[in-house]
Amino acid sequence: SAVISQKPSRDICQRGTSLTIQCQVDSQVTMMFWYRQQPGQSLTLIATANQGSEATYESGFVIDKFPISRPNLTFSTLTVSNMSPEDSSIYLCSVVTGGNPYEQYFGPGTRLTVT
Partner 1 sequence: GENVEQHPSTLSVQEGDSAVIKCTYSDSASNYFPWYKQELGKGPQLIIDIRSNVGEKKDQRIAVTLNKTAKHFSLHITETQPEDSAVYFCAASNAGTSYGKLTFGQGTILTVHP
Contact region with partner 1 (CB under 8 A), list: 11-19, 44-52, 60-68, 74-82:
44-52
Using only the alpha carbons of the chain, give its radius of gyration. Answer: 13
Nearest distance from C-beta of residue 35 to partner 1, angstroms:
8
When asked if residue 92 is in the footprint of partner 1 (CB under 8 A), the reply is yes
The amino acid sitting at 23 is C
Contact region with partner 1 (CB under 8 A), list: 14-22, 43-51, 62-70, 75-83:
43-51
When asked if residue 33 is in the footprint of partner 1 (CB under 8 A), the reply is yes
The string of DSSP letters for 49-91 reads E-TTS--EEPTT--TTTS-EEEEETTEEEEEE-S--GGG-EEE
